[in-house]
Amino acid sequence: MDQQIIKRGNIEGIFRFSTDAFPERDRVTKWRETLERQIVGLDQTALTENMRIDGVGMALPGLGLVQTNVTPFRYARTREMLRDGNDNIRLVILKHAASSAPVAHLGRDLTVEPGSAVVLPNCDLNTITFTAPRTQMLSLNLTRKNLRALLRDFDAIPARTIPSQNDALRLLVRYTEALLAESAPPTPELRQLAIVHIYDLAALAMGATRDASEISSNRGLRAARLREIKSNIAATPWLQGLSVDEIAIRQGVTPRYVQMLFEHEGTTFTEFVRQTRLDRAHRMLVDPRLADRSISAIAFDVGFGDLSYFNREFRRRFGQTPSDVRAEANRASIASNDAGSFLT
């Protein structure tokens, strides 16, 4: 496979792509081959001369994920495509678009609104058309076997739309985005856990059985909610007085629920916030662009109001004082500059 087109990351099974790497006359054909090789075969028709598709995908055992930015385009499972025997279920989510996406399934027409999703079986004739000048789409390729056991009425899901207000769908999108954005390879255990969580959330969005819903709520939904809360905290660790009550309000849940999510991981909300702030302080201390910023100012920036407490907790986490970390970073920077001067 052309490495200009598909660039594998550190995660097993991840690939990044752009049709810009293909000769213009071969773009549709090459993109079809790429998608079929990685996820599923689809007949593809560009609806504009300036065709462009780019994005990221991941192939895991029993699960395929693709997130793309695409110009007007039509994807179809045709009679010819059905011969490949792929009977998986595609959950197509119209993340961002200026217009809806028409869908045809076995002669039935429906519309997917921006932010919502549609369930399309690969074993049926179906078509989805992205009409907006630029559409951001997320597609999950789920196995029939794994999904059937989780759903209340599996036979009712083909060509079913899921509204954007569906809480499980929203968390599924966030969880999948975070997985596709990872840069470090997960262990096999974590990889399997991610697959389970995605199936749980997809089943909840589609209509899980009572038993599966209870399991999923205590597994996939909880994991996705905790990931979202951690992301929220990581985005604002420097705020003074960041509290569990404030995070709970942002998430639309109770403070006790937030606390229980962290307790299930063997930690607390307060401990996670403290470690997040300390990690941010460490990054700031080793950043040469912030070399003139005092340690006390950095401690305050990341949310510590007491310098002695900051110094004590920093040393406990990193085994060094903030001054030691900064001095070590300065020495490394000077050595690097000296080596550069010698080479030039």
Looking up tokens 């599924």, which residue turns up? 172
Highest mean pLDDT among 5-19, 106-120, 199-213: 106-120
Q: Where in the chain is the domain with CATH 2.60.120.10?
A: 7-235
**Cα(320)–Cα(286) distance, integer angstroms:** 13
Res 26 pLDDT > 80: no
Structure confidence by residue, pLDDT tens digits, 319-334: 999 999 999 888 877 7
Is 135 within 8 Å of 54 (Cβ atoms)?
Answer: no
Q: Which own/partner contact pairs does 335-343 have at CB distance under 8 Å and 24+ positions apart? A: none
Q: Is the pTM of this model over 0.75?
A: no
Let me know if domain 7-235 sits in CATH 2.60.120.10.
yes
Where along the chain do the CATH 1.10.10.60 domains lie? Answer: 236-344
- pLDDT confidence tier of residue 11, bands split at 50, 70 and 90: very low
Question: Distance (Å, rounded) from C-alpha 169 to C-alpha 261?
Answer: 20
Q: Is the separation of the CB atoms in 325 and 281 below 8 Å?
A: no
pLDDT digit string, tens, across residues 120-146? 999 999 999 999 999 999 999 999 998
Reported as half-sphere exposure (CB side, CA atoms, 13 A), residue 11 has a value of: 21
User: Of the ranges 36-40, 190-194, 281-285, which is most confident?
Assistant: 281-285
For domain 236-344, the CATH class is mainly alpha
Q: What is the average pLDDT across 10-19? A: 68
In this prediction, residue 41 has a pLDDT band, given cuts at 50, 70 and 90, of confident
Residues 245 and 252: their CA atoms lie apart, in Å, by 10
Q: For residues 34 and 249, what is the distance between their CA atoms, to the nearest angstrom? A: 43
Residues 206 and 161: their CA atoms lie apart, in Å, by 9
DSSP bridge pairs for 136: 69, 96
| Rounded CA separation 194/198 (Å) | 6
